[in-house]
Amino acid sequence: MFGQIAKIGRTLKFVGVAKHLQNVEGPVNCELVHFVDHFTDDTLSTDKWTASTNGTSAAIAIVHTTYPHCCRILTGTADGNAEFLASGICWEDDQYAVCEARILLADVTGTCLFFGLSDAVNETSPDMPIDYDGGTLAAGADNAVGIVVDADDTVNGASSIVAVGVNNTALETAIDSGTDWEDDEWHRLRVELNPDGDADFYLDGVVFGHMETAIVSGTKLCIIVALANRETAQNYGYVDYVKGWQKESA
Question: How far is residue 103's CA from residue 185's CA, in Å, rounded to a whole number?
Answer: 8
Mean pLDDT over the full length of the chain: 93
From CA 193, how far away is CA 117, in angstroms rounded? 10
Say if residue 126's pLDDT is above 70: yes
Report the DSSP pairing between strands 185-193 and 98-105: antiparallel
CA distances from 36 to 39, 54, 61, 164, 242 (A): 9, 26, 17, 24, 6
Q: What is the mean pLDDT of residues 101-107?
A: 98
Residue 219: pLDDT over 70: yes
Q: Using omega within 30 degrees of 0 as the cis cutoff, is the peptide bond preceding 126 cis?
A: yes
The counts of H helices and E strands in the chain are 0, 18
Q: What are the sequence ranges of the domains in the chain?
A: 35-246
pLDDT tens sequence across 1-39: 456 677 877 777 777 765 556 567 777 778 899 999 999
Instruction: Provide the pLDDT for residue 124.
Output: 92
Using an 8 Å Cβ cutoff, are 189 and 243 in contact? no
pLDDT tens digits, one per residue of 52-94: 999 999 999 999 999 999 999 999 999 999 999 999 999 999 9
pLDDT digits (tens, 9 = 90+) for 227-248: 999 999 999 999 999 999 999 9
Kindly give the pairing relationship between strand 222-229 and strand 111-118: antiparallel
Whether the pTM exceeds 0.85: the reply is yes
Class of domain 35-246: mainly beta
pLDDT at 1: 43
Residues 183 and 105 sit within 8 Å (Cβ to Cβ): yes
List CB contacts of 58: < 8 A, sequence separation 6 or more: 74, 75, 76, 81, 83
Q: What are the two backbone dihedrals, phi and then psi, of residue 231, each rounded to the nearest 5 degrees?
A: -155, -170
Instruction: Name residue 109's amino acid.
Output: T
Report CA Rg, the chain: 18
Q: Beta strands 111-118 and 144-150: pairing type? A: antiparallel
Stretch 209-216: mean pLDDT: 98
